[in-house]
Amino acid sequence: MKKKKIINDPIYGFISVPEGLIFELIEHPYFQRLRNIKQVSLTHMVYPGALHTRFQHALGAMHLMGLAMETLKGKDIEITSEEEEAVIIAILLHDIGHGPFSHSLEHSIVEGVSHEYISDRIMDDLNKSFEGKLTLAIAIFRNQYPKLFLHQLVSSQLDTDRMDYLIRDSFYTGVTEGVISFNRIIKMLTVANNELVVEEKGIYSIEKFLIARRLMYWQVYLHKTVVSAEQMLIRILHRAKQLGLEGQSLFATPPLQHFLERQVTKESFEKSPVHLATFLKLDDIDILASMKVWVGHPDRTLSLLCRQLLSRQLNRVEILNNEPDDKYLERIKAVAMQYFSLSKREVDYFVYSTVISNSAYDIENESINILMKDGSIKDITEASDLSNLEVLSQTVEKYIVSFPKELHSKALI
């Protein structure tokens, strides 16, 4: 028997980690880096307790995967010890490619590159370091392994990733609408036709899961103040990168400097291993340390944006059901230019519009299937007697208009 390390998690209690490959991966610097990347970016500016990290989330998802393995094996689903270890490694490393502030700066530091792609590259790098011991885990992660249900536990509409982040984000924000019956959901999992399904008696827990996901998006992830802060952060990095590419003197930590001074695309990221090695040194600390210095930068736009974000002087956000009229935006920009003495080039950093969307259940790409008592399999929207599940499968798009709150408080617009 392998010895086990114990980690005390505030949600699940004691999490067991077996010594060996899994423990070595957790101890690896690539994984330890996740301690310094917040799970929900700048959400703590609205919910002060939301300071948990990707490190905590990865361990939680790993724990839930272990529970899922116990459940499925207890129902005589054939899973070897090698497959069990591999699927646990796959979920443990699923977020290892996240950059600073998680989704906020995705596609910003490296253009057109998602965290999933970077996670994939990092797994390949780790596989070389561990002499091919991650090959099976990578095959499961990429959905290239015959047992499809193993990949679905890592990435699907009912994976252990989503289960953990809903319960964890709910716990740390205090938003109780996100609480789900994860234990019951896992106990109701089984396999039919090589795919993950839920036993019929678990329908109500799945309904609650989908509703909780919908509510958490509007109340937490897409809360208008959170959106305001994250949009300001994106524009800070965009302005800093613009100055860096122009050759202007700009303080930054060495890893951040690397990306500010050059345009790193997906193509160049693939060709040069230096970019990946440098990316793996980046976390929230690099951005925060640099922003504190940029407050005193001679570029007025960069300085003002950093000062506002660090002191939580956030933009006002209006949420609209329809796309804002161009004339409306131009009027706000004109007022902002006059009030703050901004140029046409500068005003776009302070007044802008963007789209936010929320879809709790993507029925077109993949289903959550229910195994009925008669042996038939139905999609949750068909099996459930809740008529609003059909509505939850629809993507809702809203538009935001963001501008300095001074313009509103002084009744200038």
Among all residues, which ones are annotated catalytic? Answer: 115
Secondary element (H or E) of residue 320: strand 316-320
Q: Which helix (H) or strand (E) holds 18?
A: strand 13-18
**Sign of the C-alpha dihedral, residues 138, 144, 145, 149?**
positive
Tell the burial category of 244 from Cβ atoms under 10 Å away from its Cβ (0-12, 13-18, 19+): buried
Half-sphere exposure of 240 (CA within 13 A, CB side): 31
Q: Which two tokens stand for residue 400?
A: 């935001």
Show the tokens assigned to 155. Answer: 């990435």
Query: Within 13 Å and on the Cβ side, how many CA atoms surround 80?
Result: 6
Q: Could you tell me where the DSSP H helices lie in 246-379? A: 254-260, 266-271, 273-279, 284-294, 300-310, 326-340, 344-347
Which residues fall within 8 angstroms of residue 249, CB to CB, at 6 or more apart? none
